Amino acid sequence: MNDIATSHRGTVSDDVLISVDGLKMHFPVTEGVVLRRVVAHVKAVDGINFEIRRGETLGLVGESGCGKTTTGRCILQLERPTAGSILFEGRELSGLKGDELRAIRRRIQVIFQDPYSSLNPRLKIGEIIGEPIRVHGLIPDKAKRDQRVRELLAVCGLNPAFADRYPHEMSGGQRQRVGIARALGLEPDFIVCDEAVSALDVSIQAQVINLLEDLRDEFDLTYLFISHDLSVVRHICHRVAVMYLGKMVELAETDELFDNPKHPYTRALLEAVPIPDPVIEQARAHQIIKGEIPSPINPPSGCVFHPRCDIVVEGCPKAVPAFREVKPGHWVACTEV
Amino acid sequence: SAEEPKQGGVLRIVVGSKIPSYDGHRESTFGMIHPIRPFYSLLIRVNPDDPQSSNFICDLCEGDVPTATNDGKTYTFKIRQGAEFHDGTPLTAHDIVATYNKIVFPPEGILSNRVSRFAMVEKISAPDDFTVQFDLKYASPGFMPMVATPFNFVYAKKDLERVDPEGKDPQYGMKWHQNNINGTGAFSFVEHQPGSHVLGKRHEKYHHEGKPYLDGFKAISAPKMSVRIQAIRGGRADIEFRGFPPKSRDDLVKALGDDITVQESAWNCTFGYAGNQTKPLFQDKRVRQAMTLALDRWGASNYLSKIAIVKTVGGLALPGHPLATDEATLKTYYGYWPDIEKSREKARELLKEAGAEGASFKIWNRAVDQPYKVVGTWMLDQWKQVGLNVEQVVVPTGPWYAGLRDPDAFDVAIWPSCQSVVNPIVDAGAWISKERAADNRGYYTDPVLDEWYDQMNREGDPAKQAELYRKFEKRVLHDEAHFGQVLWWHKINPHRSFVKGWKIAPSHYLNQSLDQVWLDVPDEERKQRTMDELGG
Amino acid sequence: MATLSEGRLAVAMFEEPAALKPWHVKLRDMARKQPVGVAGAIIVVLMVLMAIFADIVTPYDPLLNSYEYMLAPPDGNYIFGTDMLGRDVYSRIVYGARTALFVGFASAAVGGILGLILGVSSAYFGGLFDLIFQRVMDVFMAFPLVIMALAVVSILGTGTENVILAIIVPFVPRCARVVRSSALQIREIPYIDAAKACGFGHARIILRHMAPNVMAPFLIMITAFVGQAILTEASLSYLGLGVQEPTPAWGLMLQGGAEEFAESAPWVAVFPGLAITLAVFGFNLFGDALRDVLDPRLRSSQ
Amino acid sequence: MYKYVIKRLLLLIPTLFGAAVLVFLLLRAVPGDVCQLRLGGGGEWIDPVALEQCKIQLGLNDPLHLQLVDFLASFFTFNFGESMWTGRPVAFEIGLRFELSLQIAIMATLVSIIVAIPLGTISAIKQNTWIDYLVRTISIAGIAIPSFWLGIIIILGLLITTQAWTGTPWMPPIDYRPLWEDPGYNLSMLIWPAVATGYRYSAVATRMTRSALLEVLREDYVRTARAKGLLEKMIINRHALRNSLLPVVTIIGIEFAFLMGGLVVTEQVFNLNGIGKLFVESVTNQDYVMTQSLVMLVVTIFVLVNLVVDILYAVLDPRIRYS
Amino acid sequence: MALLEIDELKTQFFTSAGTVLAVDGISYTVEEGETVAVVGESGCGKSVSALSILRLVADPPGRIVGGRIGFMGRNLLELSDREIREVRGRHIGIIFQEPMTSLNPVLSIGTQLTETVVHHLGYSEQKAASRALELMEMVGISDPPRRLEQYPHHLSGGMRQRVMIAMALACEPKLIIADEPTTALDVTIQAQILELMKNLTRELGVAMIIITHNLGVVARYADRVNVMYAGKIIETGTAEDVYHRPRHPYTLALLNSVPRVDQQRSAKLDPVEGQPPDLTRLDGSCSFRPRCRFAQEECAQAFPELAYVGDGHRAACFRSQEIAAGLEQVA
Ligand SMILES: Nc1ncnc2c1ncn2[C@@H]1O[C@H](COP(=O)(O)OP(=O)(O)OP(=O)(O)O)[C@@H](O)[C@H]1O
Ligand SMILES: Nc1ncnc2c1ncn2[C@@H]1O[C@H](COP(=O)(O)OP(=O)(O)OP(=O)(O)O)[C@@H](O)[C@H]1O
Ligand SMILES: [Mg+2]
Ligand SMILES: [Mg+2]
């Protein structure tokens, strides 16, 4: 395993930190005001499996609505999954309540996409970072806690004096750093980064990506890195999982996936990403994937990708393809590879 | 007067209260007297040409009002011939008997509001078709005034005996008048739009020769005082019969000059208060006396009468009535001393003696401006001047009445009493012991008063009666100060000058048959009014 | 790798955020942008000052009856004239401001806070709680004010406190509903998820994280409601259900005679009416401006 | 859609039920009763026997829970009973007043719509100019002026000005005649309260139009419309106004429902025999049956108007579809 | 003569926080049928410069304070309101970033599509309707008759953006301005839309200004690129010039800070540190100076001219020659 832990992406150990098995999250679509009847389900996540090892960064990519955020929220216990299990250090998360849940929450943190809405505008930066520390009783002493807040700000590349500011007095990049500092304050083991850099400008985005990488190394963190930006994922992740319509279609080590995509959807996705080099672009044959993403309420039968697939065969609409390992560490859900 | 009444036209009245039902026997509000009384006649009534006197004249009876025979125990009325109900039924003595039987001896389940006051009546009978005889258990000076009560509408026997077409209600006839109108009054019923108006038209077969002068009347409901005033000013109504505050009278006169005529009269309504004697503070006679001493009645008669419908300083009986106390005697009673400073001095002294200096209490007042809240606020001020600590609780009418019935609810109650026919002897029943008078607001027991009251009621000799009455009054107002009479109401009726023939009575219940009223306006306008309201 | 954070710090240190404007500059900006609102604020402030310093600014005791000066027209002695018991109308109006403001602020504050907590909780918990809560609010919203006021007043008696209660009862559901709809939006904003993810309890999330964020619609509502409460108090008093004599209160001054002699003694009706209008006007102007300032959807782009 | 309507109507039941219980309890909590008022309302002496009789007849002595069951049963069987005050059927009494209340509500709504939409639009388009300030001031004044006070001023103003001009003071009629019987009379009576309430009402709607339009004018699609080179008039009328009408419709609906049941004060000032006056009367008379029915009527109107508003929403905004 | 000639365009916002110099004297030209890209960080004035062309900047608080926009021989800034309305939609179409909010939710697609041709070309309802059908087919929307009756909320984001394109093309304009037309869309849909726009503009010979911050998009579609920073164009040239021979440190840094999907990771990213400047507080100096690792004394004195560094390739940097010569030495 250590062979993928190339020096510039940090070290990955062998022990599994998070293991997701058969995760399903179906949101009921209701009708009626008094007697809310369930008329359908949004199959936001429809049976996915993966593991994340300690120190690893797993990328989760896919188009809008494919269930990336929902997966993250399930791990964070912000949603109650319909089915499946989520093990954290071998302990089942779903069903935890009260103090146990609070204890776990300290160890699993999140960084949100939108730096504007993920900070409570009424609280000062110091309070935003300090409150969780206080509530979890990590540092009961006020002065020491303030000291810690300043440290955290510094660690995230912010001026410690910012503790007295409100979020609206800061730029987007700075706010995103505050969100990171808040998560770090609880000394978590695992952080879900849900589109943590997508809303930032390229130059700021690069700053934050570097910060995340540094912190990973410095504090031995594990990330679930959710993004729709394939370039960023390629840059930061050890392994990448591709989702489509609530299902996992491909999972492999980063360079293997990008250089050697197996699933037609992964290939189409890569094809669609423009490359910032006019010469290369000129040379690329643009095979544009057709059609739009179907609704997760009524996903296509069999392989959900078959209506847009260019290598579709007769059996595709009928049977759900198994998610199988085609090469060591390379999993694909397609019968044709 | 010299003026010749003119025939025709419709009179428009504004009425400030609501009509609960059309059955006078069970109601007690002027809100139904003003619009409904013109449809009915009474056996006897207050003389419309001299309503200020306590004289009664015959309405449906004939000749002079009868005097008692048989030691004051029998009254025999000759009934007028030729009177006719609006539906054409001729009136006989049996109708009168049926009517009074309903009032005096209502069958089970039928409401009559004056049963207790007719307690002296033994039997009512019709020796022949045009004679009615009342036999009393004992002679009572209160009897004839009760007969003349304007709520005693005369109904037709056949209406009272009507049977339910659906066969359900055995008392159908007895209740028929609640929702139907058939009388011998000057006007016959045309329509009633609840909440809006009542319309009546001339009864052609009315038993008083040549009357009524009007073609009809329209009684428009207008609960707000200001609307009624403006309606008269803006030509939407001609008259209001209850009474306006003095300031509004001045405004109307100022705005309309000669077009407005104002009639004024003392009003047979007391305005008083009582300390609740279930509460220790008011059990002390000295406190009660101090309270009455603190009120500057003579001053208030001057200045309050400019803003409120109260004016006359008096005792328990309406000033002007033969039983009323003369002013000189009155001025010796507590609270009636001409020198208010001396009076207040005495009040403070009494309070000190009673150890009740700066005592606190609340006035339980009704959420009606005139005169309740105005006078209540004034009383509060007066009592404050002798160091009492007074607040006012003002509640809507319903809860106010409910509170009066609950001795735990209030400290000092405003205690008004409005009666129709001036009848001080019977009305004195309000101030006897709480065990006998259900509306005793002082919650006191005073056997002396009870005894005097009974004597008074059975006393045939007017002189002795007056003497008893004086003793009774002095005890109520002065010696025991159970009741504080503040001021008598003062009735002010400004109306359009062209309304002629109506004379103000000392009560807004009296003299409302409208048969004497006529309109002194040009012929075309009278026609126009008839056209407008009655459609030709 | 301590050097690492130090190194980053070195880069970040010079980033100075945009300077914050001092409050007086903000105030001036607001005055320029919201002249109408500032006018409202001035009215409100004057009223409050008037109420606080009533003793100083009035020439007479508002309860002092002087029967020799009943219904005296405005003159040097009585600048707004006297009422029918000879009380100084001006003094009564000034003291009436106390009553009005007390009723206005007290009912807005109590009703507002109740509505805030109920509304936010309803939005936060959602589900069955929200459903039942909504139906109950429906009933209260549709329920006529008169009945409510009359019942409260009849059961508990008239007087300032009960008037406040009568005003609060219909206000709570209105406030809760407005708050709820904003809170529903707030609930979806990631910082609430962040709070949950930090393991905070329900009460903390509701009170510390959600409630302060619905402040903008809440404050707008509250200011408008102070005005409304003053108006309602006046109307109730006018119907005889409100504050009682001899307490100086504006609605009460308009009631009981004022109307009947509105022509010959207009000062009795005109000045209290103007006082009510002006006060409510002030609060509404202020609230309106507040809406323009606080409501981000309406904020003029800058 | 019709399914949705039926569902909403069914939803009325719990609301009505809640309101029914609430009004029932509130009314009984008030001390006193209709009999005392009827028999002694004039201040006369009350015969205790008569009082007891009256209570028995009206069922006031029955145990509370029986009274409640009776009331609920009668209500949900549409047999509303008789007024305790007049003895006439409640439906008849309300029917008499409904016409007038409805007419005023409609007239006031018309007045307000005619005033509010143009004014609100101008105010929004000319935001922060003196026109805007003027409109806002006028409309806030409309909310601030106590309606009863405005009513008094209108009536007095009419009396005084007519006396000054014609010599005889004139005031609006104080008794109602239906529009189709005597339109002149009817309108000369109802126009004043319609204007007095319409002013307040339009003030609310003007403010709402303004703020809604301001919001919409900042929307991207308005910029799109501009980019298409459309005339400003078309942009306002076709693109902006329709979107901003939604909240305005709500306000108009709520106010309409309010007018139908709540013109308590104005009806008094103008002596209108409408629902509001009946309301106050029946409450002060402690006429339980009438009051209960009126509350239910008002609640029903409120809920129905809300439903109509929601349906209008769907008409105006194709995004909203009820199924 | 070029189709569009922007010369020293200046647009400012007058706010309580001060005057925002959103567009601070930019000049560029667009030839007929050419696709020109404008790239730059958020807030650097890309949208405002585009809106200024059609004079759609909200006034207040914004105002075009100077410059000239020559279009088909006329200065757009001098046209009357009526005349500029005739240019909008008729000769210049515009496509906005947010397909979700740029269409009026209460009007049917058909109405929104036909109103331009009815208004500008005086088409009858029928003629407009058939034109609408034609347009819908052109932008690849299936089942046009049904779609025309639908409302925006019935359509997916990609569909809406197609409708926006159809609307912009309705009157056969000479120029289309596309302000981040695909930023809100998914990669696959983004690729579809861009491809469509490219094909259509080629076929119809329409010129296009495409505004984006996605360097990949520019590389794929643009003939020429203008890089903006803080209200100014700091580098302009053909796509190949700008990507392979950047002459401005900002362009350089920008290219270095994007990870590449087509290459294995080699090292950490090299971001531009610091924040973009506050547009209300610009002095006359080079606005990139605080973040620039090549900054020197001179840069604080004046803003460098946009000078030629190659054929049709210009950059606004005092040290562009040195950058060209070799980056290592400079750094
Ligand atoms: N609370 C919810 N109720 C109903 N449907 C939901 C809910 N949350 C998410 N969904 C639906 O589930 C699907 C997956 O949503 P999710 O947010 O996980 O997608 P995503 O991959 O994160 O997309 P994006 O890239 O847009 O963030 C979507 O169709 C979404 O509409
Ligand atoms: N209405 C306005 N009022 C004040 N300032 C404005 C306004 N609109 C834009 N600005 C300012 O003008 C500058 C340029 O804005 P513009 O929208 O052109 O940026 P952009 O390059 O399009 O950014 P993005 O990539 O985020 O769309 C920004 O600093 C912005 O703050
Ligand atoms: Mg997501
Ligand atoms: Mg932009």
pLDDT of residue A52: 92
Q: Do A274 and E216 touch (CB under 8 A)?
A: yes
pLDDT of residue A5: 41
List the alpha helices (DSSP H) in B39-87.
Answer: none
Has residue C108 got a pLDDT over 50? yes
Q: Whose CA is nearest to atom 24 of ligand 1?
A: A64
Q: Which domain holds residue A11?
A: 2-120+188-332
Tell me if C251 is assigned to some domain. Answer: yes
The whole-angstrom separation of Cα A321 and Cα A305 is: 10
Angle (CA) D213 D218 D220, round 5°: 120
Helix (H, G, I), strand (E, B) or coil at E328: helix
Of the candidates C210, C249, C269, C211, the residue with the CA atom closest to the CA atom of residue C103: C249
The whole-angstrom separation of Cα B324 and Cα B330 is: 10
Total domain count, chain C: 1
User: CATH no. for residue C234?
Assistant: 1.10.3720.10
For B211-232, how does the pLDDT look when each residue is reduced to its tens digit (9 = 90+)? 899 999 999 999 888 889 889 9
**Which residue has better confidence, B395 or A26?**
A26
Tell me if C203 is assigned to some domain. Answer: yes
Which residues have CB under 8 Å from B68's CB, separation 6+?
B74, B75, B139, B143
Beta-sheet strand order (sheet of B131-136): B74-78, B131-136, B121-128
Residue D291: list chain C partners with CB under 8 A.
147
Tell me if A168 is assigned to some domain. Answer: no
Angle (CA) E321 E323 E327, round 5°: 145
Peptide bond into B371 cis (omega under 30): yes
Chain-centroid distance of CA C280 in Å reads 9
Q: How many beta carbons lie within 10 A of that of residue A97, not counting itself?
A: 7
- What distance, in Å, lies between the first and last C-alpha atoms of chain D? 5
Which of E61, E275, E278 has the CB atom closest to C302's CB atom?
E61
Which of C136, C138, C238 has the CB atom closest to D148's CB atom?
C238
Residue-averaged pLDDT of chain B: 89
Beta bridge partners of A50: A20
The average pLDDT across A13-28 equals: 88
Q: How many beta carbons lie within 10 A of that of residue E73, not counting itself?
A: 7
Residues 217-256 of B with CB under 8 A from D: 218, 220-224, 226-227, 230-231, 233-237, 255-256
Strands A108-111 and A190-194: parallel
Residue of D86, D267, D279 to mutate, interface with B, max B Cβ within 10 Å: D86
User: CATH no. for residue A15?
Assistant: 3.40.50.300
Tell me if A160 is assigned to some domain. Answer: no
Which residues have CB under 8 Å from E43's CB, separation 6+?
E276, E279
Of the candidates E16, E82, E13, E18, the residue with the CA atom closest to the CA atom of residue E51: E13
Ligand 3 (single-atom ion) residues, CB below 5 Å: A 69
Q: How many beta carbons lie within 10 A of that of residue B101, not counting itself?
A: 18
For A201-218, how does the pLDDT look when each residue is reduced to its tens digit (9 = 90+)? 888 888 889 889 988 888
Tell the burial category of B67 from Cβ atoms under 10 Å away from its Cβ (0-12, 13-18, 19+).
exposed
Peptide bond into E60 cis (omega under 30): yes
Residue C143 sits at φ, ψ, to 5 deg, of -75, 130
Tell me if A147 is assigned to some domain. Answer: no
The average pLDDT across D49-77 equals: 81
For C139-175, how does the pLDDT look when each residue is reduced to its tens digit (9 = 90+)? 887 777 767 777 787 777 767 888 888 888 888 888 8
Which residues have CB under 8 Å from D26's CB, separation 6+?
C147, C148, C151
Total domain count, chain A: 1
pTM above 0.90, yes or no: no
Helix (H, G, I), strand (E, B) or coil at D190: helix
**Residue C13 pLDDT grade (very low, low, confident, very high; cuts 50, 70, 90):** very low
For A125-164, how does the pLDDT look when each residue is reduced to its tens digit (9 = 90+)? 999 999 999 988 888 889 999 999 998 998 888 888 888 8
pLDDT of residue E327: 56
Has residue C264 got a pLDDT over 80? no
Has residue A1 got a pLDDT over 50? no
Has residue C10 got a pLDDT over 70? no
Where are the extended beta strands (E) located within B41-186?
Answer: 44-46, 56-58, 74-78, 121-128, 131-136
Q: Do E13 and C300 touch (CB under 8 A)?
A: no
Tell me if C120 is assigned to some domain. Answer: yes
**Cβ(C286)–Cβ(C44) below 8 Å:** yes
Of the candidates E175, E212, E171, the residue with the CA atom closest to the CA atom of residue E193: E212
The whole-angstrom separation of Cα B293 and Cα B344 is: 6
Ligand nearest to the backbone CA of E96: 4
The whole-angstrom separation of Cα A163 and Cα A161 is: 5
Of the candidates C120, C122, C124, the residue with the CA atom closest to the CA atom of residue C112: C120
Helix (H, G, I), strand (E, B) or coil at D175: coil
pLDDT of residue C7: 39
The DSSP symbol for B457 reads H
**Residue percentage of chain D with pLDDT more than 90:** 6
The average pLDDT across C178-197 equals: 86
Beta-sheet strand order (sheet of A16-31): A37-53, A16-31, A83-88, A91-92
Tell me if A6 is assigned to some domain. Answer: yes
For D93-114, how does the pLDDT look when each residue is reduced to its tens digit (9 = 90+)? 888 888 888 899 999 999 989 9
Has residue C64 got a pLDDT over 80? no
Residue B496 sits at φ, ψ, to 5 deg, of -60, 135
Which residues have CB under 8 Å from C154's CB, separation 6+?
B395, B396, B398, B399, D29, D30, D31, D32
**Cβ(D75)–Cβ(D296) below 8 Å:** yes
Has residue C9 got a pLDDT over 70? no
Residue with tokens 């560094």: E309
Tell me if A179 is assigned to some domain. Answer: no
The DSSP symbol for A315 reads T
Q: Which tokens in the block code for residue B3?
A: 């003026």
Which residues have CB under 8 Å from B284's CB, separation 6+?
B354, B356
Residue type (1 letter), C114 = L
The average pLDDT across D228-252 equals: 84
For B125-157, how does the pLDDT look when each residue is reduced to its tens digit (9 = 90+)? 999 999 999 999 988 888 898 899 999 999 999
Q: Which domains does chain D have, with CATH numbers?
A: 90-284 (1.10.3720.10)
Mind giving me the DSSP string for B225-286? HHHHHHHHHTTS-SEESS---HHHHHHHHHHHGGGEEEEEEEEEEEEEEEE-TTSHHHHSHH
pLDDT of residue E225: 93
List the alpha helices (DSSP H) in A32-136.
Answer: 68-75, 98-107, 125-135
Point out the residues of chain E with pLDDT beneath 50: 328-331
Of the candidates A226, A300, A247, the residue with the CA atom closest to the CA atom of residue A84: A247
| Per-residue CA distances from D159 to B88, B133, C273, D37, D314 (Å) | 45, 55, 19, 35, 47
Q: Do D43 and B237 touch (CB under 8 A)?
A: no
Tell me if A261 is assigned to some domain. Answer: yes
**Which residue has better confidence, B123 or C295?**
B123
The average pLDDT across B382-409 equals: 86
For B313-337, how does the pLDDT look when each residue is reduced to its tens digit (9 = 90+)? 999 988 888 888 888 999 999 989 9
Which of D38, D57, D284 has the CB atom closest to B396's CB atom?
D284
Instruction: Give the nearest chain D residue to E166 (CA atoms).
Output: D228
Residue of D27, D47, D153, D263 to mutate, interface with B, max B Cβ within 10 Å: D47
Residue B364, phi-psi category: left (phi > 0), alpha (psi -120 to 50), beta (remainder)? beta
The whole-angstrom separation of Cα A86 and Cα A192 is: 14
Q: Do chains E and B touch (3 or more CB pairs under 8 A)?
A: no
The whole-angstrom separation of Cα B480 and Cα B483 is: 8
**Residue percentage of chain B with pLDDT more than 90:** 49
Q: Is the dihedral of CA E281, E286, E287, E289 positive or negative?
A: negative
Tell me if A325 is assigned to some domain. Answer: yes
Residue type (1 letter), E24 = D
Tell me if C82 is assigned to some domain. Answer: no
**Cβ(D222)–Cβ(D130) below 8 Å:** no
Q: Which domain holds residue C145?
A: 89-295
Q: Do C15 and E17 touch (CB under 8 A)?
A: no
Number of residues assigned to chain C: 302
pLDDT of residue A10: 61
**Cβ(B352)–Cβ(B364) below 8 Å:** no
